[in-house]
Structure 1
Amino acid sequence: MASTSEVGHAKNIANLNVLNTNIAALGAIYNPSNPKLALANLQNLYTSAVTQQENVNNLVAPYSIAVDERELIFKPLNSDLTKLRKAYKATEGVSQPQLEDFMTIVRKLKGVKKTKLTTSSNPEEEQLSHSTSQMSYDQRTNNMDVLISLLQNTPNYGPNETEYKIETYLAKKTAMLQKTQDVLDAYIPLNNARSSRNNTLYISDDNLVDLANKAKDYLYTILDANSAQYKAISKIKFKKQ
């Protein structure tokens, strides 16, 4: 689930460490009147940001695994439903309207495309992306329930083959519900960790990007703009994701 956005978060944090190292090398001449720009405060900010990014990193893998495992459950449905249609059609007494009802449900089960998840720095955008994906899988599971009800209420539907039995599709529905819940359970702590990290880096009044850029502004006032020291510092970039 890594993205250019996630890389950007790590880059901002790493660049603060580079800036702090440059500031430390200046010694006593770095003496801002703004206490928030003090080296000790910037170092504490770096330590906090590292911890929060590590919390995100540790939660990405469980979420990715849960998403992949859910996809393994849902992906075979299209081919399974194509074969189930043949079994349903071959059932004694199934009418054309019943077959049309069957196909209407199947189209709903097949018609939901996998939603691409984002890793925006905006927690509301991340929540919206997850919610959209979660809803699509919830809808598919609900449609599976409707399909099972149709099979249960179709006289003479009782295939001998295990893969077409109602019990098999009940088991599929149970697995779909569980894997979707697993994704939700993994997403909530990840989203909370990202929100905390994003607040520190970009959103709070004293966020990392703003303070780092203010420290660079102060450095411009105490260093020769043509000096090797300032030229090196000016290349350290901090951007909001």
Structure 2
Amino acid sequence: METKKTSTSEKGHAKNIANGLLLITHIEDMSETYNPSNPNLQLVKLQELHTEASKEQSKVNTSLSPYSLAVDQREEIFAPLSKKLTKLKKAYKSTLDVSTAQVEDFMTISRKIKGTSKPAKINENDTSEEKKQHSTSQLSYDQRTNNYEILISLLENTPNYKPNETEYQVDTLKNEREEMLKLTKNVGKTFVPLNNARSSRNNIMYITKDNYVETFTKAKDYLATILDTKSSQYKAIAKINFKKP
């Protein structure tokens, strides 16, 4: 199961962007006093970089909700599956003329459906690593859904398996499987734009030459050369930090 990235995951990036705007505000108040020789540190360049980073973060924010909702919806249908399989096994065992071997077959398939492992902890800012975990998770859900179909086939081909309870009937189970397929597909569909948005955001913020964090850190370093380190303005600027994940 993949970890679902919530807005909490984006706080570090948003903090860097907010701190960039705060530093720009200080620089704007300094007027002509701020005059770096490095053209990349000029106020207009910082403003452009901040605008670009803000747009990329906004793309991440708008892509995150559909993905989170898709993960929630998929989890909602898979979460009760283990308990249902336990009851389904009892319904199967109580079926007329079902053999021990058939029950063993049921249990073998059931274990495959239940078989999940906790996701490895990943660097949420490494989009390649996150994409790999997502692919692994998708495959896991695909396999569980496939095994559910195998289980349904076993029930369908058991002559006396005709439970009166709707939730255990073959048609009900088939409908559940179709819903599993649809919801798993939707997770994959919504992950693509989110992953692309994060990759683009991270590229501007941390990876490219003259990226956001490095550029604003250099601007802060330059300010330390032209301000009195005992001044209240310098002390306020000193608290503004930019961090790579």
Please tell me the TM-score bracket, short chain as reference: over 0.9
Measured against aligned partners, the alpha-carbon deviations of 1:2-23 in whole angstroms (never above 9, x if no partner) come to 3554111100000000111111
Matched, 1:172 2:173: no
Pick which of 103-112 and 160-169 moved more: 160-169
Q: Is the 8 A contact 2:204 2:211 kept in 1?
A: yes
Choose the corresponding residue for 2:52, options 22, 45, 48: 48
Alpha-carbon distance in 1 for matches of 2:181, 2:192: 17
Superposed displacement of residue 96, structure 1: 1.1
Measured against aligned partners, the alpha-carbon deviations of 1:162-208 in whole angstroms (never above 9, x if no partner) come to 22222111111100000001111111111111111111111111211
Choose the corresponding residue for 2:10, options 6, 31, 36: 6
Choose the corresponding residue for 2:20, options 13, 16, 19: 16
Q: Which residue of 1 aligns with 2:232?
A: 228
Choose the corresponding residue for 2:94, options 73, 90, 98: 90
Q: Normalising by structure 2, report the TM-score.
A: 0.91
Superposed displacement of residue 115, structure 1: 4.3
1:161-200 correspondence runs (5 A): 161-200=165-204
Superposed displacement of residue 28, structure 1: 1.2
Matched, 1:127 2:140: no
Structure 2: gaps spanning 5 or more residues: none
Choose the corresponding residue for 1:104, options 95, 103, 108: 108
Q: Is the 8 A contact 1:225 1:231 kept in 2?
A: yes
Matched, 1:143 2:153: no
Question: How many pairs were matched up?
Answer: 241
Question: Residue type matched to 2:97 in 1?
Answer: G
Pick which of 146-155 and 68-77 moved more: 146-155
Alpha-carbon distance in 1 for matches of 2:8, 2:108: 40
Superposed displacement of residue 229, structure 1: 2.3
Question: Residue type matched to 2:217 in 1?
Answer: N
Superposed displacement of residue 81, structure 1: 1.2
Q: Structure 1 pair 2/118, CA: closer, same or farther in 2 (3 Å)?
A: farther
Q: Is the 8 A contact 1:5 1:120 kept in 2?
A: yes
Question: Residue type matched to 1:154 in 2?
Answer: T
Q: Is the 8 A contact 2:23 2:237 kept in 1?
A: yes
Q: Is the 8 A contact 1:15 1:238 kept in 2?
A: yes
Alpha-carbon distance in 2 for matches of 1:31, 1:237: 21
Q: Which residue of 2 aligns with 1:76?
A: 80
Structure 1: gaps spanning 5 or more residues: none
Choose the corresponding residue for 2:31, options 24, 27, 36: 27
Q: Structure 1 pair 195/160, CA: closer, same or farther in 2 (3 Å)?
A: same
Superposed displacement of residue 90, structure 1: 1.7
Alpha-carbon distance in 2 for matches of 1:92, 1:68: 39
Identical counterparts, % of pairs = 58
Measured against aligned partners, the alpha-carbon deviations of 1:99-127 in whole angstroms (never above 9, x if no partner) come to 11100111121231564886712111221
Q: Structure 1 pair 223/37, CA: closer, same or farther in 2 (3 Å)?
A: same
Matched, 1:239 2:243: yes
Alpha-carbon distance in 1 for matches of 2:42, 2:176: 59
Measured against aligned partners, the alpha-carbon deviations of 1:202-239 in whole angstroms (never above 9, x if no partner) come to 11112110001111122222222233222221110000
Q: Is the 8 A contact 2:70 2:186 kept in 1?
A: yes
The alignment's C-alpha RMSD in Å is 1.9
